[in-house]
Structure formats: C-alpha cells, structure tokens
Amino acid sequence: MPVLVPALVSISAVLTGSAAAAPAAGLRGDPPAYRTAAGARPVQGAKSPSGAPRLAPGTYTDSLARGDEKFYAVHLDAKSSAYLSAVAAPRPGSEVADHTDSLKVSIRDADGNTCSSGGSTAFRGRGMAYPIADYATRRIDGPRTNCRRAGTYYFVVKRVGKASAEGAARWPVELRHQREPGLTGTPPAQPGPGTWSTTAPVPLTGGTKKDTEGGTGFNDAAPIGKGVWQDRIKPGETRFYRVPVDWGQ
C-alpha cells in the first residue's frame, strides 16, 4: 500500500531596492514571525553538560545569542532511534551575515563523543533573515557501539557567527525530540534499484489556479497537492507549504 509522506517547501521573498521602495497594495506591514508548535514548552539550555535540562519527547522553545552553545540532556533507551532538531527563526527584517551566521547541531554521548551531527546551516539570502533548521539522529543500528547503549546523551545546539558582524539580536529556537521504535520480527527485503528519469516534467499551465496561503513554518505549513497554486508574499517574508511525497519521489 503506498504511503504518502508530507514534505515541506519554503519560499522566501528577497527584499530588493524596487520592492522596498514600493510594496504592492495589500502587502504592506511587517511579515509574520515563525509560529512555534502549539504546546511547545520553554526551556533554557546549559553552557555545559553539567546542569543541562532534560528533554523528553516533545517540542520546546529557547533562544540563542551569537556564539551560544547550549546543551540539553536526553535519556535514550537501547530499543529506539532518536531524532532531535532545531529551527532558528530570526525575526523577519532582522540582520544576518550570509555564510557566517549559521546553526550547528550534534548528539554526544556522556563522554563527549559525537554520535551524530548535522550540516552547517547558514544564511544565503543577501543578509535577509529567514528560518533555518537542522537535525541530528541517534540510530540503534548506527556504526558506533557506544552510541547504541541506553543512557544519557546530549543534544548540542550552537549559533555560529563573527562577533563583529551585523545582527546581534537573539534568535528564537524551536527544539523537537522524536523517537522511532526499532523494527520487530523479520526485516523486510531491501527494495530493488530504482530508476531516474532525465526527462523534465511538463509544466502545469492549464486549469484553474487554486488559492492558498502559506504558513510561517513547519507547524502551520499550508497543504498543497498536484496542480497550479497561487499565493502572495511580502518582501522579506518566508512561506511554507506541505507537499505529499510517495516512496521513491
């Protein structure tokens, strides 16, 4: 039975000279800020593993100053995988430094060994602020034996940036801890090699355009499906859309 997995698409409007000079009617006003998940709990990360607050599965909010590296404790068993993510959401219109202002995340064991790390998620929008996100995982089938044991691990979130750069405001951060139980019974057979078409899909140009209103982030992303959709976006605004994706797509 096919399973559709929701994927997310985000679109940002870069603020140019012409857009700043004459915003369209109905698009004036400040762009909305990233909307955190309902029920997200405030937490304050520690500067070191000592005193790190414990994150049970769920969603949390914190903030990061430039140069902050914060630690959060997670107790993991030896039967399930863990996924920990961070979304940094500077206020729309705030200043950021392209390529140097970035977000880094990792999961470390009790001895400080890195079990998993994300990439280096940096801004690349001509100094425009928009939500950036990354995640790290602790998989029970991972290559490191020390990372498959039950015990306390640490989710580490760091805001990287030059002290002399523009944009010193704190970034709101949304943290999420999710678990995935391990497989039971006989593992399914591995799928055969897929195929990749080099033919570009035919653009959808006909039919009626459907109206939608994108969300501010992952929590309120607007669902869209096949077809032609239209929306309006303010200069400096980022909008998110939720798209169903099948296996192999």
Residue 191 lies in a domain: no
- Write out the residue range of the structural domain in which residue 98 sits: 5-183+202-245
Kindly state whether residue 28 falls inside one of the protein's structural domains: yes
Where residue 32 sits, what CATH number does that domain have?
2.60.120.380
Query: Model's pTM, two decimal places?
Result: 0.82
Residue 189 counted as domain residue: no
Report pLDDT digits (tens) over 54-82: 999 999 999 999 999 999 999 999 999 99
List Cβ neighbours of 201 (8 Å cut-off, separation of 6 or more).
none
Three-point CA angle 188, 189, 194, nearest 5°: 125
Report how many domains make up the chain.
1
Q: What is the pLDDT of residue 11?
A: 63
Q: At 232, list the tokens.
A: 């309006």
Task: Quote the pLDDT of residue 223.
Answer: 96
* CB 45 within 8 Å of CB 52: yes
**pLDDT tens per residue across span 133-189:** 999 999 988 888 889 999 999 999 999 987 655 666 899 999 999 999 887 777 777
> What pLDDT does residue 22 have?
44
Q: What is the mean predicted confidence (pLDDT) over 105-132?
A: 89
Q: Residue 138 falls within a domain, yes or no?
A: yes
pLDDT band at 6 (very low <50, low <70, confident <90, very high): very low
| Strand duo 102-108 + 210-211: pairing | unpaired
Each residue's pLDDT tens digit, 195-240: 777 888 787 777 788 999 999 999 999 999 988 899 999 888 999 9
Q: Is residue 218 part of a domain?
A: yes
In-domain check, residue 197:
no
**d(C-alpha 86, C-alpha 71), whole Å:** 12
Contact (CB, 8 A) for 247 and 27: no
DSSP type of residue 202: P
Average pLDDT over residues 127-131: 89
Q: Who's near 218: CB < 8 A, 6+ residues apart? A: 8, 87, 133, 240
Task: Say if 188 falls within a structural domain.
Answer: no
Q: How far apart are CA 93 and CA 236, in angstroms?
A: 6
| Residue 11 DSSP label | E
Residue 25: the pLDDT is 46
Strand partners for 178? 83
